[in-house]
Amino acid sequence: MTPSGTTSGGAPGPAGQPAWELLLPAAGAPARRRGRALQEALREAVRSGRLAAGTRLPSTRELAADLGVSRGLVTEAYEQLTAEGYLRGERGAGTWVGGAVRAGRVGAATGTGGGGRDPVAGVPDVRVDFRVDFRPGTPDLSLFPRSAWAAAQRSVLARLPHRALGYPDPRGLPELRGALAGMLARRRGVVADPERLVVCSGVAQASTLLGFVLRARGLRTVGVEDPGSPEHGRLFASTGMETVWLPLDGEGLRPEPLAASGVRAVVVTPSHQFPSGIGWSAERRAALLDWARTVGGYVLEDDYDGDFRYDRAPVGALQGLDPERVVYAGSVSKSLAPGLRLGWMLVPEELLGEVVERKRTMDLGNPVLDQAVLAEFVTRGGYDRQLRRCQRAYRERRDALLAALAARLPGIEVSGIAAGLHVIARVPALFGPPERFLARAAEAGVALRSLEEYGTARPSDGDVRLVIGYAHLSPSAIAEGIGLLAGAVGA
């Protein structure tokens, strides 16, 4: 992790000094174009390996002086490339070439790494090729509360008894289970008995745990929402369960196809359906639970963004209505950081022993120190503060997105805006056929997903339905992205 000792790089100039000016071929161009040229040159130098991972860049002041450009232009270039993952900055300590670009060289079969794989949408991260990336699934990682987290880590290491460093309880640290149960009951309206709460590494692991348990009970199929997250199906497939697509309408899962499917387990996102953005109606919630009771089935509720509600009071989780039929799963991936790999599930009594034993054989339980830190964070109010902070930031970004769409792409219809980290924008066919629309956006440097990528439906109206993630983008990046998009499609 330590950057190499190199303090500068690039093509070597006379007397071994790096020739940073070689990075800027268009030295005579106007400032705006020079800024872009600098960014492209830096990007290319990293991509090609001329600037190796770990190379420390000159300070913005030095490089600006070397190149004879304004310092602001260099700062902007560093910031842009840091956001794109080419560079990494350390507060007050400089800027380095990041390792992410090189790290991506392993093939798709073994999964690429990096910061942006979305476990819900299963979107591989190729963000570095786009100027503005609206693909959903990643929160704003810069909102992670580093100093509060560091303080909690310090406190935990100072007070945790030695014994707690031993093999953990596979269900999770009792203190964390108690803290989470209280928090979830209060915020999400779940029935949260700490004895039924199992700490896990996130919704993905919750899916795998449940899949193995249900498979061992003889179930062979699981129903998933259509449209929905392809990742749900992949996770259950890894446990030997086959996926059955179940159609949604504007209210939730349609009851008849569900009943006819023969499945006895489903995965749903009722609070803010992924990706359509709808909230399930009360009738459909009730109908799903009726179905579950009738067939003796189970519902996995993926509450992936249930923490974020902007215009009305949060809808309580489905689990609160029937904790014996619903497995509730959530995580800190959207509220703190996916890299923490910490989540939870609330498990019906009947499945509890099997889920815990499966958790035990998978990994013996989650790391103790992380659990203790989160327990402290929740107990002392840090988690609520963090949620309020994210909520404010994300509401502002959503509003920026809605404003930019209204201003630059008139005639589009936006839905799913009341909650979560993404919206659905329906763009009329008059902007061209869907494929061409997306291709043009990509050419303009704007990454987007269409709703069709998440399900089997292929509407014939020619409209483009975009899934636009905004939480990880600043209001100005959002405005820029929508501007680029509008320009590209001739709006």
Per CB under 8 A, 103 contacts a copy of itself: yes
What's the CA gap between 299 and 284, in Å, rounded? 13
Q: Does residue 272 touch a copy of itself according to CB under 8 A? A: no
Residue the block writes with tokens 């763009």: 427
Asked whether the CA dihedral 481, 487, 489, 491 is positive or negative, the reply is positive
Euclidean distance between CA atoms 281 and 303, whole angstroms: 16
Closer residue to a copy of itself, CB minimum distance, 127 or 272: 127
Contact stretch for a copy of itself (CB under 8 A) within 8-16, 114-122, 260-268, 308-316: 114-122
131 near a copy of itself, rule: CB under 8 A: no
**Under rule CB under 8 A, residue 381 binds a copy of itself:** no
Q: Which of 112, 391, 415, 474 binds a copy of itself (CB under 8 A)?
A: 112
Stretch that binds a copy of itself, among 276-284, 293-301, 366-374, 458-466 (CB under 8 A): 366-374
How far apart, in whole angstroms, are the C-alpha atoms of residue 327 and residue 311?
Answer: 27
Residue carrying the six token digits 């303009």: 444
Residues of this chain, 60-79, that bind a copy of itself according to CB under 8 A: none
Distance CA 137, CA 115 (A): 11
**Shortest distance (Å) from residue 490 CB to a copy of itself:** 34
Nearer to a copy of itself by Cβ, of 9 and 279: the residue is 9
Comparison of 90 and 283: residue with beta carbon closer to a copy of itself: 90
- Least separation in angstroms between CB 466 and a copy of itself: 22
Instruction: State the helix-helix crossing angle for 31-48 and 71-84, rounded to 10 degrees.
Output: 40
Minimal distance, residue 440 CB to a copy of itself, in Å: 28
| 3 state DSSP class of 132 | strand
Distance CA 351, CA 325 (A): 10
5 binds a copy of itself (CB under 8 A): no
Q: Does 28 bind a copy of itself (CB under 8 A)?
A: no
Residues 214-243 that bind a copy of itself (CB under 8 A): 234-235, 238-239
DSSP class of residue 340 equals G
CA distance 39 to 309: 37
Q: Given the structure tokens 């769409």, which residue do they identify?
A: 405
109 binds a copy of itself (CB under 8 A): yes
**x/- contact string, 177-216, with a copy of itself (CB under 8 A)?**
------------------x----xxx-xx--x--------
Q: State the nearest-atom distance from the C-beta of 183 to a copy of itself, in Å.
A: 14
Using rule CB under 8 A, residue 385 touches a copy of itself: no
Number of residues that bind a copy of itself (CB under 8 A): 95
Upper half-sphere CA count for residue 363 (Cβ side, 13 Å):
14
User: In the window 243-262, what residues touch a copy of itself (CB under 8 A)?
Assistant: none
Instruction: Kindly identify the residues of this chain, within the stretch 300-359, that bind a copy of itself according to CB under 8 A.
Output: 333, 337-342, 352-353, 356-358
The two three-digit tokens of residue 352, written as one number: 């509890």
CA gap 289, 280 in Å, rounded: 13
Q: Which stretch binds a copy of itself (CB under 8 A): 72-80, 135-143, 302-310, 418-426?
A: 135-143
Kindly state whether residue 88 participates in binding a copy of itself, applying the rule CB under 8 A: yes
Note the helical H segments in 238-276.
255-261
As beta bridge partners, residue 265 has 298
Closest approach, Cβ 266 to a copy of itself, in A, equals 19
Query: For residues 148-177, which are near a copy of itself according to CB under 8 A?
Result: 149-150, 153-154, 156-171, 173-176
18 vs 170 by CB, closer to a copy of itself: 170
Instruction: With CA atoms as reference, report the closest residue to 267 among 303, 240, 320.
Output: 303
Maximum CA pair distance of the chain?
81
The rounded distance, in Å, linking the Cα atoms of 442 and 435 is 11
Least distance in Å: CB of 447 to a copy of itself? Answer: 16
Say whether residue 435 binds a copy of itself (CB under 8 A): no
115 binds a copy of itself (CB under 8 A): yes
User: Of residues 375, 421, 427, 482, which one binds a copy of itself by CB under 8 A?
Assistant: 375
Q: Which residues pair with 88 in a beta bridge?
A: 96
Residue 341: which H helix or E strand, with range?
none
Query: In this complex, which beta carbon is closest to a copy of itself, that of residue 7 or of residue 142?
Result: 142
Closer CB to a copy of itself, 14 or 161, in the complex:
161
- Residue number with CB closer to a copy of itself (288 or 332): 332
48 contacts a copy of itself (rule: CB under 8 A)? no
The stretches of 140-276 forming alpha helices (DSSP H) are: 146-159, 174-188, 203-216, 230-237, 255-261
Interacting span for a copy of itself (CB under 8 A) from 70-78, 106-114, 404-412, 458-466? 106-114
**Smaller CB distance to a copy of itself: residue 160 or 259?**
160
State how far the Cα of 140 lies from the Cα of 334, in Å rounded to an integer. Answer: 8
Q: 């619903």: which residue's tokens? A: 326
Alpha carbon 15 to chain centroid distance? 47
Cα-atom radius of gyration of the chain, to the nearest Å? Answer: 24
Helix ranges (DSSP H) in 68-191: 71-84, 100-103, 146-159, 174-188
Residue 77 CB, shortest distance to a copy of itself, in Å, is 16
β-bridge pairing 265-268 and 298-302: parallel
Of 283, 363, 413, 435, the residue at the interface with a copy of itself (CB under 8 A) is 363
